[in-house]
Structure 1
Amino acid sequence: MVADVTALIPQPATSAPPAVADSGAQGGIARYAMENHTHASKIRKSRIAVSAATYTWTYPTPFGAGVVPICNGIAETAPSATDLINIQIDGAPTNTQCTFRITRYQQSVVSLIGLTTLSLNGVPASVNLHLSAMEP
């Protein structure tokens, strides 16, 4: 009799849980998750100091083969900085890396006529980049 009841008790899962999805779905497998399980993230992120015109970011964990992530880069400057930093994606991202182009523009105001002018000054001495890559 005890053997019959034991067979009805769900067993622990034997594989890693799926990655976090954009929308939820009810599961249909009668297994339970072990207490120390983890879900794979769909986003990679980093904060890195850069002092070059380009930076190739290799993700800490690659995305699946053929996955082209949605990548973003934002510059962090000092509170008193007046320069403008432009970050753009240089070429197409891959499942393992993304290259960013970093350009600094010096901002100055022509006080007599109230216009703001920009001049290209190349790469900042050092800027922190906040980078993210998300699985579509």
Structure 2
Amino acid sequence: MFRFLRFAALAVLASSILALPYLKSSAVSSNPTVRVIVALRDDPGAVYEARIEKSGGSVTTDQLQAYRSQLSVKQDQFLSALSSKGVTFSVVSRNIKNFDGSLAATVPLRYTLVYNGMAVDVPYSAVDSIRTMS
């Protein structure tokens, strides 16, 4: 019995220690920044191509690229609308390195081929507003 109580006490202590950073970060900021993936309504490029091919048509590489460019324009419009609502945001990006470790490119996480959306960091209070927009 004593062994069980000691184990339970250690488990509670360990979980409390692990929870401290979360509790501290929540207490510091009343409106923390969260990372969300925003899905827009239009079909992604792969779905666009599949629907046309299913109906007997075909899509060239140039047509698919043009469609994906239209999706990028609509994503830009969404970001402009988000900004005009007074929402501060940043599109999440990843640094891609060369073999020698130097920076080759910075790639924004915006998707148009298999998903139509983007990853953005926004204040938590803006999440409901984004839901109504996308």
1 or 2, which has the higher helix percentage? 2
TM-score for both structures, normalised by structure 1: 0.24
| Higher-strand-fraction structure | 1
Q: Which has the higher contact order (CA 8 A, sep 6+)?
A: 2
Length-normalised TM-score, structure 2: 0.25
